[in-house]
Amino acid sequence: MLVLVAPGQGAQTPGFLTPWLELPGAADRLAGWSEAIGLDLVRYGTTADADEIRDTAVAQPLLVAAGLLSASALQTPGAFGAVAGHSVGEITAAAYAGVLGEAEALSFVRTRGLGMADAAAVTQTGMSAVLGGDRDSVVAHLEGLGLTPANMNGGGQIVAAGTAEQLAALSENKPEGARVIPLKVAGAFHTHHMAPAVAALGEAAERLSVSDPVLNYVSNADGKVVTTGADVVARLVSQVSNPVRWDLCMETFAELGVTAMIEVCPGGTLAGLAKRGLPGVKTLALKTPEDLDKARALIAEHTA
């Protein structure tokens, strides 16, 4: 079985969409989405600098747009047996699974990005990756500092989130056997600090036209396969202030018999985690359109 996955915030880099806009119809699609949500996705994906696209309100719609563009460029409908996304990538996954239309997904993620940006502005917060160490000991250490293990990514990676002061304390007092790397994100995502965004997203969710997923949709909340569109959307809302359990998503991939994973643009992060967490599963990250032929070959190999 093949699984299609979509990365979360932090995967974007300056100019990463430039080569994708050379594909037939891509520039027009992105321009249409830009007009619909009131955000110049073309400029942000091509000429904007790193600071501009780090803005949560920009990064989130940009990542979903990139994921949808690259997934459709594969031109292999029905090839995937499962889909999942990390954090905001869950919206990309929901659109690919048929739960939301593309335009609705972009509108929904625009609300999400703005709400989370506003929530992040209340208190100076952030996130740091903790690499290595015993998982239970790391979690206990973080909680002792008042931090939340916001992303349980598997493969020896946990992302801690909290206030600037708490993260500074973590840098000074690292868990035994672990490294700490500050992340370039603008808030403590997937923690109680994001609670104000949940209400706004819940209101937006009530206006959505929702369908049940047409393939296995694996949720960040608990790694479970979700079978109804209403449940998918409810989880998208609540996930904003709850930890991402990507480790459990990978466990479900293994249980489903996944043999290959393709990560949509800007790919790389989740493919890297899979190399450690899913040994034996082939991975391919879509970084530029030059990767499309390799992806199609991998699809053919695993659907023959």
Marked catalytic residue, from 70, 87, 107, 128: 87
Residue 224 CA to residue 230 CA, distance in Å, equals: 15
219 is known as an active-site residue: no
Marked catalytic residue, from 34, 128, 141, 190: 190
Residue 174 CA to residue 180 CA, distance in Å, equals: 7
Residue 65 CA to residue 53 CA, distance in Å, equals: 13
Secondary structure, 3-state, 91-106: HHHHHHCCCCCHHHHH
Q: Helix or strand or coil: residue 134?
A: coil
**Residue 7: which residues within 8 A CB-CB, separation 6 or more?**
63, 67, 85, 86, 89, 263, 264, 266, 267, 268, 269, 270
87 is known as an active-site residue: yes
Residue that has been written with the tokens 């990507």 in this structure: 246
Residue 229 CA to residue 217 CA, distance in Å, equals: 10
Q: Order of strands across the sheet with 282-285?
A: 225-226, 216-218, 82-85, 2-6, 260-263, 282-285
Strand partners, 128: 160, 182
* Cβ 34 vs Cβ 41: under 8 Å: yes
The Cβ of residue 87 has, within 10 Å, a number of other Cβ atoms equal to 25
**Active-site residue list:** 87, 190
